[in-house]
Structure 1
């Protein structure tokens, strides 16, 4: 099932689907039960200037691994052909590559945050946090969906 920004069943949940063995509907509580990381990020927001926030949540990589992507685990580089499309409740979207978040390649410790500035995000939904981004455009609040997709279709 492919969610849009308006058809998510309830606030605070996200659909994880695509080229995975275990698609899931995840709540903030489920994400909160996973091993947590914390990070403080600063970024420039075009409309409101410099922003700084403290987040906690599981690594995006850990959440995605639990869904068991369909890449060949015996082929180290196979995972580099996978894309991650992230959708926020307001329609904000971003596309990441698996290589960006994989420790053997880009090693960006992206989070699906369950708290922001010590405030619980259960009602809002998790936030995608991209440490190291200078601009806040890939920080997506109220994530409603993540699609994992092999990029093979891009090449015909």
Structure 2
């Protein structure tokens, strides 16, 4: 692969026409768009307590989960801010399209030798955007964690048949 940076008004090199460039930009997420930091406001789904509103920050290197605000409770521990390296993330999949335009997506990560996950709920467009963004980053960075997860997933799927 070769990377060449050419100024827009330069006459050096092969230039792509503006119309062709617009088509390339509109045809899908660009290579660099996956690595730009973006934050989303979503709800973290818990089994035994109410959902917690968090800010999910995604960049090319990390996924950060920061609680927005939490009511004080003596029974439950407050949600702490968590950060995961992209190399420790195995997958991000849409799980469920709920009623009223809400969707649930699952972020699967590895700690030690165990795969764990966090479930998040948001509107359908945001859930789809987050899952797509993380999936693109994971495809570009192909880590051992991701490869092992996909191998186990296909092996489990073949056993069910």
- The TM tier, using the shorter chain, reads under 0.3
Greater gyration radius: 2
Return the structure number with greater relative CO, CA threshold 8 A, min gap 6: 1
Q: Normalising by structure 2, report the TM-score.
A: 0.26
Going by fraction, where is helix more abundant, 1 or 2? 2
